[in-house]
Every structure is written in structure tokens, then in C-alpha cells.
Amino acid sequence: MQRTAAEGRGPVRYGPPAPQPGLPVLPELLSVLAAAAGRAAPEPPGGGDAVREAACRYWGRRGLPTSPENVAAGPGAPALLLALLGAYGGDVMLPRPCPAWWTPQVRLLGRRAYHVPTPAECGGVPDPYALLETVRRVRAEGGDPRVLLLSVADDPTATVPPPEMVREACEAAESAGLFVVSDESWRDTVHRPYDTLVLSPAEMLPEHAAVLVDLSGAMLPAGWPAAVARFPDTPRGTWLRARTLDVLTATGAMVAGPVAGAAAHALDEPDAVAGRAYAAAALHGVVAAEAHRRLLAAGALARPPQAGRHLYADLAPLRAGLARHGVGDAMELEDWLGGRLGAPTPGGQRFADELGALRVRLSTGPLLGATPQERLAALTARDPLALPHVGDSLELLGSVLAGLA
């Protein structure tokens, strides 16, 4: 009997956590959190003035003027996205592949998720022609697509869609009458920020796009959950924000007071925070590029990583070698490869890819070292690839792949 992605081993329906930086918490942020640790009063639903005003300054530096009344904060992107989608209503269009936590959010609300293939060049956005055709078909079959969820710096593919592709996807969404939600959590982890232009749908569709940023992407540890959303400055946007706050209130999804203080501090991007984010992105870029080189040398396929702390590999050309080890689908590949590398390697089935496709997401965090000291050494090294512990991790990856030839 053929297995589905919901069967077999492990908690397949619930996606793996986003790749972590593998670096100790920035001391400046620890001090800010510690100073607010005695705060007993909770943040109001949607966040207090300080975090919302800091979010406005953050977006202002990125060319998106924003007012505090158009911002909401929540305890991490999943809680905030769940509230936003619950408030808006309708079915959701998503790219394939997409972040592991997106599809469960839609289904938890009792909505239908429709996945649209991405262009060959990148992930994060749907092919515009496929999007229009899928929307037409879904509506003809009685579906109710209202939202397009996309990413301008993508997990899992680690790619940044070129501005023209973001533009085409937004034009298609507008033509189809879809509201766009842009997850921009990874935009500040671009490996070469001076060579990579990130275009937000909110720049193209200011009245029909919301922006979501999870601060664990570049600024805060994942254990300090905080995220912010920017709504259109329109009557419809005001209505959507108010409905989103209703959901946050009903579910008790408020940012913890001390975390809100750290989030506001991080959103203002003082030198230490901005410097750490830039250095971490550059480090993961160097390691990801070398991992990518070794993947290609072994005969695997992968788009060149441009952002984040991972890359997305297609091991279909190594199918015969994997078959010798009893690996025939993405779930089996996840187990087998993760066991040999000693690190999580979630299979493509978690990202809405087909179970039979031999795709995995490889994280660069585990390649930086096994201890905080080793990871900090990688962060400050002139050539992190020359460090023995980094070199050994990459050599293990190369040798495991080479054994499949």
C-alpha cells in the first residue's frame, strides 16, 4: 500500500522548526530582557506602543512608511498568521514548496490550501500563469480562494525571488482578486545584501498586501517568540487589523512583556543587533555556498542559497545509490540522511513537495560547531571554512553524498 505524507514514522503533519542560527544570544539583548524581567503587566493584544512604534521605524528604513495603528504584534509568526488568516477568511493559495508550518495553519482553520508550483529560478512565489489557472479551476469547482501567501526570502528553498517575479506574482494575485500576505521573516538574512534586491509586495500593492516578520529570523532567539504584522492603511486594512486583534485576544496570543521590550530594542537595530545579524548572515552564506558546492560535486541538485540558514537539495540523481540503502521517498531520506549527518534533515514532504521526490532541507547551523564556543569562533573567523570543526562537518556531508554515487 502506498504511504502518504501523513502516515509512517514521526510527526509528519507538524513541520520542523525553522533553522536556528546556532549562535549564543547577543549579550546586549540579554541585558535588555533581564532589565525587563520584573515586568508583571502583560502586553495588550497586538502589542504596546513601544514595539509597534519600533516596527514602524524598522519598515520606514526599508521604504515602507507605517503608522502604529496599522501594526500588530504577536508571540511569533505562527500565532500572528493564524489570527490574520482567521480574520480574513477564505481559502489560501501557497507556493510549492512552502514553509512547513504554513499549510497546517490553513487546515487548522478549516480552510483549504492550494499549492501552486514555483518558477524554475526560485521559490517563495508561485508561477503567475499557474496561479491564475489554479484560481480559475478552484473557483469553478466551488472553492473560495481569497489569500495568496508568499515569501520574498524563502524557507525552504533559501532563494530570493527576483523583483520581476515578485511583481508578476503580485499582478496575477491582483488580477485574481487575492489579498497578499508576504512573509518577510528572512529578508534580513540575505547572504549578500548589497547584491540582492528584496522587493516587498506592500510596495506594489499598498492597499492589498500585509507584511509578516518573525523576529527569530534575524534578530531574536526562537525561544523569545515575537512577530509583527503591517496592515494596509485603508478602511479594509483597519478592519482586518481589528479582526486580527479579536482573534489574538480570544486565543490569549500576546507577546510577553519582557520579550516585547527586547523586540522593540531589536527592531530599532542598534549597532550590536544589526552587526550580529549581518555577520551571522554572511557566515551562513559562506557555509551554505560550500555545502552547495559539495552537493553539486556529488551529483545532487540545488538552487544556489541566497538567504537563511539552510539549502534545499534534490537527491533524485542519486536515487539508485539511495535505493541500495532502502531509501525510496522523502520520509525515508529524512530518516536516513539525518541519522548519518547527526542533524535534522526534514524531507520535502514537510514542505508540501511530493512524497516521491527525494528532497531535503539541510541546515547550516549544525555545521558551525557543537558548542557555543565553536560557533562563536566561526562567527569571528576570517575564514570559517578553515576551522577544523567546520571543515569536518562539511567533509562528513561530502563523504555521505559521495557514497551514493
For residue 5, which of 357, 349, 359 has the smallest C-alpha distance? Answer: 349
pLDDT value of residue 12: 40
Q: Compute the CA torsion angle 358, 192, 341, 383 (nearest 10 deg).
A: 150
The C-alpha cell at 54 is 519600533
pLDDT value of residue 107: 94
Q: What are phi and psi of 114, to 5 degrees?
A: -115, 120
Per-residue pLDDT of the chain (405 residues; tens, 9 = 90+): 333 333 333 334 456 777 778 889 999 999 999 999 998 888 999 999 999 999 999 999 999 999 999 999 999 999 999 999 999 999 999 999 999 999 999 999 999 999 999 999 999 999 999 999 999 999 999 999 999 999 999 999 999 999 999 999 999 999 999 999 999 999 999 999 999 999 999 999 999 999 999 999 999 998 999 999 999 999 999 999 999 999 999 999 999 999 999 999 999 999 999 999 999 999 999 999 999 999 999 999 999 999 999 999 999 999 999 999 999 999 999 999 999 999 999 999 999 999 999 999 999 999 999 999 999 999 999 999 999 999 999 999 999 999 998
Q: What are phi and psi of 30, to 5 degrees?
A: -60, -40
pLDDT value of residue 327: 97
pLDDT value of residue 405: 82
The pTM for the full model equals 0.94
For residue 389, which of 271, 298, 254, 287 has the smallest C-alpha distance? Answer: 287
3-class SS of residue 260: helix
Q: Which residues of 177-215 are buried (b: 16+ CB within 10 A; e: fewer)?
A: ebbbbbbbbbbbbbbebeeeebbbbbbbbeebbbbbbbb
pLDDT value of residue 15: 61
Amino acid letter, 208: H
CB neighbour list of residue 339: distance below 8 Å, 6 or more residues apart: none
* Residue 394 C-alpha from the chain's centroid: 24
* Cα–Cα distance measured from residue 216 to residue 219, given in angstroms and rounded to the nearest whole number: 6
What angle is formed at CA 202 by the lines to CA 361 and CA 307, rounded to 5 degrees?
25
- C-alpha torsion sign, points 62, 63, 65, 71: negative
What is the full DSSP assignment across 306-353?
Answer: -BSSEEEEE-GGGHHHHHTTT--SHHHHHHHHHHHHTS---BGGGGT-
pLDDT value of residue 14: 55
